[in-house]
Amino acid sequence: MSIETLRICGIIILLAPFCGAVIAGGLGPIMLRGRSHWPAILGVAGAFAAAVVVFTQLYGHGTEELSAQIPVYQWIIDGAGSAFKVEFLIDPLTSVMLLTVTGVSLLVVIYSRDYMREHGKPERGYERFFAFLALFVFAMCALVLGGNFLLLYLGWEAVGLCSYLLIGFYYSRPAAAAAAKKAFLVNRVGDFGFGLGILLIYLSFGTLEYAAVFDMVQSGVLASGDPLTNGRVTTIALLLLCGACGKSAQLPLHVWLPDAMEGPSPVSALIHAATMVTAGVFMVARCGAIFTASSTAMAAVAAIGATTALFAATIALVQTDMKRILAYSTISQLGYMFLGVGVYAADSAIFHLFTHAFFKALLFLGAGSVMHAMGGIIDVRQFGGLRKLLPWTFVTFVVGSLALAGFPMLSGFFSKDEIIHHALVAHPLLGIIGLVTALLTAFYTFRMVFLAFFGDERVPEGVHPHESGGWMLFPLCVLSVGAIFAGYLGVEATGRGFHHFLTPVFETTFVAMNPAHAGSHEVAHPGFWEHYGLMILSGGLAIIGILVAYIIYVKRPWLSGLAKASAPDAYQTLWNKYYVDEFYDEALVEPARKTGRFCVGLDDYLIDGLIWLVTAVPRGIALVLRTMHNGAMQSYALSMTAGITIIVLLVFWS
């Protein structure tokens, strides 16, 4: 592999989508209009091609040095002698992320060409949409490629910005505008911790460059030469985790993602399912050196992941908006990834990230196709039995659902199973939560499928459903293939190529620090049950979940009403998402606004009042003096007489 090639590829990966964004945004309104998708498609395709080149450069190099820190130019000079550079870090992890991001992006951009049209005419803001989408690809690649924490932060904020702009794409809808703002602000809360973590890293290590920081963490010394305490590294890791929770919508910062579904469906597919929200997982994996140095932090990652996975899956059970169900399922699957990283199985987590990108993007695009056909309606209570009307969408959607549900031999099955396996090894409770969530996942996914595609054919008033065109079906088909076969990149039968490719990245961190490896718990020659027992169990759970959903929603539809009626409180709690939003409003937003009003009052009355008092002193003196100078001779004479009397008295007194 040559550094020069990698540098050029990195620059292309960044600049191609960026130029696409600028051209689409700049020329779009003037001359491109309905063709504004071309700059975006070409830009993203260029980035994808460069990502493939990066991959071929890295692939097949065995265990030799596989990571390259590549400087580009000096960005911010801190004035004290050092500088923050724009630089890349390219290693297998980067490469996998780049392929996933640019690949899915390309498909989504192609899909959007038709999706963002009504009756063949581009929607209002067509060029804006593609400009933002390409800008997002640029930002996400910057996040992934960046070779130091400052660039990570840049990408981190920039993807947040694109997410903000795209959620608020239909800005005249108040809900969309509010959701956009909410997404940005909740992420800012996470970034608050993230930023503090980065500052603490600089404070501790005197640099923000990945390689240097990780080296110092692993050798356990600070820049000042003092030993790195466990408390400090834990603090750093937890602060970083705070940012990851914001971006990846983990508890307690998950509230923005379901609302983010106000954005157009391709945006939900790309940003809020396949790529941006996985940035948190990527970051924890990237900073493995820091996280694995603190067992507390790792436990926190695993705990947050497991809790979120279960928590979001329960909410998804009762929702009726297809995109929101998928949003909660995304949160839940991201929880799996966190769980994976937290139990030292970073390669499995990234594997799940990879397969998830396929099937979740597929599901969102499928939901988008449904929404397109239903004239913008996506609530499963308002339509049903669509399988005849939208055959292609139906088939691909079912493929995606099977993969999500963990149906045996599809991609989601393999990757999820790996995570559950590692979780069981780490702590039985984590593994059991993983299994329960798998069951719930299969159930709610197929509840959605059965409600939308099975039963009697029902469509909303005045809607003439039609299957989508080729621009939309092509990405669906490609993603379906991925959803079925992507998992085979990481199974024993194919030599676990995916994991081997990633191993060099995690060798010294997640692999070496794994407490499960430290004791020789590994069974030398696992028997059939050790090997396949879990697979059969989790596959079985998936099938059970699907069957239960089938019985409740297809065979015996009255059962669902019964369930709702038998536990109304539980149903209401789930329906209202555990009242987290309401809690935040009451506990944080309102008090802050009250404090703000209090501050304004303080300004207007206390501070200005004090100042009025100060200025009142000269005014008061003047007032007294003014009454004396009233020009009446009598009063002058009176005061003169009084004065003389006093003086005379005083003289006599003494």
> For another protein, which is the closer residue by CB, 195 or 490?
195
The count of chain residues that interact with another protein, using the rule CB under 8 A, is 56
Q: Please tell me the distance from the alpha carbon of residue 247 to that of residue 255, in angstroms, as a whole number.
A: 11
Interface with another protein includes 584 (CB under 8 A)? no
Interface with another protein includes 615 (CB under 8 A)? yes
Q: Give min distance, CB of 613 to another protein, in A.
A: 13
Pick the piece of the chain touching another protein (CB under 8 A) from 102-110, 385-393, 537-545, 607-615.
607-615
Name every residue whose Cβ is closer than 8 Å to that of residue 151 and which is 6 or more positions away in sequence.
Answer: 86, 87, 142, 143, 145
Binders of another protein among 382-421, rule CB under 8 A? none
Residue 117 neighbours by CB distance under 10 Å: 17
Interface with another protein includes 571 (CB under 8 A)? no
Q: Please tell me the distance from the alpha carbon of residue 260 to that of residue 268, in angstroms, as a whole number.
A: 7
Q: In 3-state terms, what secondary structure has residue 345?
A: coil
Q: Which of 191, 347, 417, 418 binds another protein (CB under 8 A)?
A: 191
Residue 361 near residue 479 (C-beta atoms within 8 A): yes
Q: In 3-state terms, what secondary structure has residue 270?
A: helix
Element (H, E) at 117: strand 117-118
Interface with another protein includes 229 (CB under 8 A)? no
Interface with another protein includes 521 (CB under 8 A)? no
> For another protein, which is the closer residue by CB, 173 or 555?
173
Written as six digits, the tokens of 407 are 């149906």
Interface with another protein includes 618 (CB under 8 A)? no
Q: Which of 51, 108, 180, 267 binds another protein (CB under 8 A)?
A: 180
Q: Which of 295, 544, 603, 637 binds another protein (CB under 8 A)?
A: 603
Binders of another protein among 125-154, rule CB under 8 A? 150, 153-154
Interface with another protein includes 608 (CB under 8 A)? yes
Q: Which of 56, 59, 118, 203 binds another protein (CB under 8 A)?
A: 203
Interface with another protein includes 196 (CB under 8 A)? yes
Q: Give min distance, CB of 128 to another protein, in A.
A: 9
Name every residue whose Cβ is closer than 8 Å to that of residue 201 and which is 6 or more positions away in sequence.
Answer: 149, 208, 213, 236, 290
Interface with another protein includes 157 (CB under 8 A)? yes
Report CA-CA distances (Å) from 62 to 58, 150, 208, 382, 500: 9, 30, 29, 54, 9
Q: Which of 89, 176, 302, 362 binds another protein (CB under 8 A)?
A: 176
Interface with another protein includes 76 (CB under 8 A)? yes
Binders of another protein among 422-441, rule CB under 8 A? none
Q: In 3-state terms, what secondary structure has residue 458?
A: strand
Question: In this structure, what is the dihedral angle of CA atoms 266, 269, 274, 276, given to the nearest 10 degrees?
Answer: 70
Pick the piece of the chain touching another protein (CB under 8 A) from 277-285, 332-340, 341-349, 604-612.
604-612
Q: Please tell me the distance from the alpha carbon of residue 312 to that of residue 5, in angstroms, as a whole number.
A: 43
Residue 474 near residue 110 (C-beta atoms within 8 A): yes
Pick the piece of the chain touching another protein (CB under 8 A) from 195-203, 212-220, 316-324, 498-506.
195-203
Question: In this structure, what is the dihedral angle of CA atoms 337, 342, 348, 350, given to the nearest 10 degrees?
Answer: 50
> For another protein, which is the closer residue by CB, 148 or 396?
148
Name every residue whose Cβ is closer than 8 Å to that of residue 288 and which is 6 or more positions away in sequence.
Answer: 346, 505, 506, 509, 510
Interface with another protein includes 463 (CB under 8 A)? no
For the chain, give the number of residues: 654
Interface with another protein includes 74 (CB under 8 A)? yes
Residue 289 near residue 360 (C-beta atoms within 8 A): no
Q: Please tell me the distance from the alpha carbon of residue 534 to that of residue 419, in angstroms, as a whole number.
A: 11
Q: What is the phi-psi region of residue 432: left when phi exceeds 0, alpha when psi lies from -120 to 50, beta otherwise?
A: alpha
Residue 129 neighbours by CB distance under 10 Å: 29
> For another protein, which is the closer residue by CB, 219 or 224?
224
Residue 188 neighbours by CB distance under 10 Å: 14
Computed from CA positions of residues 199, 205, 207, 213, in that sequence, does the dihedral angle turn out positive or negative? negative
Interface with another protein includes 81 (CB under 8 A)? yes
Interface with another protein includes 611 (CB under 8 A)? yes
Pick the piece of the chain touching another protein (CB under 8 A) from 114-122, 157-165, 475-483, 488-496.
157-165
Interface with another protein includes 18 (CB under 8 A)? no
Q: Which of 227, 495, 596, 620 binds another protein (CB under 8 A)?
A: 596
Q: Could you tell me which of 325, 350, 327, 326 has the C-alpha nearest to residue 338?
A: 350
Q: Please tell me the distance from the alpha carbon of residue 79 to that of residue 98, in angstroms, as a whole number.
A: 34
Q: Give min distance, CB of 174 to another protein, in A.
A: 5
Pick the piece of the chain touching another protein (CB under 8 A) from 175-183, 294-302, 352-360, 362-370.
175-183
Q: Which of 3, 185, 567, 616 binds another protein (CB under 8 A)?
A: 185
Q: In 3-state terms, what secondary structure has residue 148?
A: strand
- Which amino acid, one-letter code, is at 640? M
Q: Give min distance, CB of 378 to another protein, in A.
A: 21
Interface with another protein includes 19 (CB under 8 A)? no
Instruction: Please give the residue ranges that form the binding site for another protein (CB under 8 A).
Output: 73-81, 83, 150, 153-154, 157-158, 161, 164-165, 168, 171-174, 176-178, 180-181, 184-185, 188-189, 191-192, 195-196, 199-200, 202-203, 206, 223-224, 592-593, 595-597, 599-600, 603-604, 607-608, 611, 615
